[in-house]
A and B are shown apart, each in its own frame.
Chain A
Amino acid sequence: MRGDKETTNWLNKSLMKQARQKKLSIIAVGVLSTVAVTVGYLLYLYRGQRNPNIRDVKPKSKCYVLTQDLFDKIENWQEELSKDSVMLVLPEVAHLGNHLKLQLSSIEHKIVIFNNSSAVWSAVRHLKKYELVISRDKTSDMPVDLRRYVGQISHI
């Protein structure tokens, strides 16, 4: 009889011990997973910041939005457009665009003449060049979200 009592006591104690161990292990796993998730998320954010997709692969690619003002300001378009760049000609200065196309026949594909001014901004968004060169007076016409699609806006 006494032996039985002792064994039952011992059994109870061991069961309780096991239960406690189980609890501890569950808690440990929970903590570790939380830590891992947080670290991973931070890393992801960091890496995202590191490589934003708003920029073009080749640095310093330029996008010119041609206005009369801009046309006057820059002299040598041949040089400007010889690098990685594109010129978007607003509808009002289409004649200038044609003129430039004839003038710079070797790189005429870089000059895009528009009939619709809203399409110009869509083109800017699509092209995702590093730098957007635009004259100051057109800044107000720019849609607000354009900053997301270009890295840098130079107002001339």
Chain B
Amino acid sequence: MSRIVKEYMGLQKRLQTPEFSWISFLAPVDDDDLSEWVCRFQGPSESPFEGFELGLNITIDLEKYPISGGPRVLFEPRTVAHPNVKWDTGEICLDLLKDAWTPIYTLLDVVGAIRDLLADPGLDSPLDLDIAQIYDADYEAYVQIVRYRLEEARLARV
């Protein structure tokens, strides 16, 4: 049994624990094909994302996972304004997904790390310079802009 299958099998139980109550769901798009996953989770508390639900699209290369490479994770495009997220594509700049990936991490770890990143952006490697500048200069404005984007996205979904 491969690692991803094991993860999948154990996922249901783990998602029900209070530790992961902030994940609305994390499941493959199609149960037969474990290479595409979708996740929706609540934004971290004490951040502009609080109270909003965010969506992730996860792609796993079944040959490489977990040793050679980690999952490819993107936010839904044009929803998240964050210094480490590219607005247009939803690309996330997180060391865990790139060089600091080790096979120890699971999908849950990745999603958790992304959630933590939302609360604490890493300003030394921003993908969106303008937002990073706003974050630096004027935190309240940053919060409002993020919320603006999230609201627009929520309204669009509806």
Contacts and interface: CB of A to CB of B under 8 A. Distances in A.
A touches B (Cβ under 8 A): yes
Interface of A: 53, 57, 86, 109-116, 118-119, 122-123, 125-127
B130 A126 contact: yes
Contacts of B145: 112, 123, 126-127
Tell me whether chain B's interface is mostly helix, strand or loop, or mixed. Answer: helix
Interface string B123-158: 000001011011001101100110110011000000
Contacts of B151: 109
Contacts of B141: 112-116, 119, 123
A119 B87 contact: no
Interface residues of B, number: 19
A119 B132 CA distance: 10
Contact of A122 (B88, B137, B140, B148): B137
Given A116-B138, A126-B87, 9 more contacts: A57-B78, A109-B144, A109-B152, A113-B144, A114-B138, A118-B137, A122-B130, A125-B130, A126-B130
Contacts of A122: 130-131, 133-134, 137
Contacts, number: 50
Given A86-B148, A110-B148, A112-B148, A123 B140 contact: no
A91 B152 CA distance: 24
A15 B134 CA distance: 73
